[in-house]
Amino acid sequence: MTHVGLTVNGEPRAAEVDNRMSVLDLLRERLGLTGPKKGCDHGQCGACTVLIDDRRINSCLALAVAHEGHRIRTIEGLGDAAELHPMQAAFIEHDGFQCGYCTPGQICSAVGMLSEARADTVSAATADVRRRGPVELTDAEIRERMSGNLCRCGAYVGIVAAVRDAASRMK
Q: Looking at residue 24, which CATH number applies to its domain?
A: 3.10.20.30
Q: Give exposure, 47-58, as e/b (b: 16+ Cβ within 10 Å).
A: bbbbbbeeebbb
Query: What pTM value is reported for the model?
Result: 0.94
Q: Are residues 49 and 101 in the same domain?
A: no
What is the band of 106 on the pLDDT scale with cuts at 50, 70, 90? Answer: very high
CA dihedral 92, 61, 139, 171 (to 10 degrees): 70
Q: Are residues 36 and 72 in the same domain?
A: yes
CATH of residue 152's domain is 1.10.150.120
Provide the residue range defining the domain that includes 49.
2-77
pLDDT tens, residue by residue, 73-99: 999 999 988 999 999 999 999 999 999
Instruction: Name 12's bridge partners.
Output: 7
Q: Are residues 90 and 162 in the same domain?
A: yes
pLDDT average, residue stretch 148-164 = 97
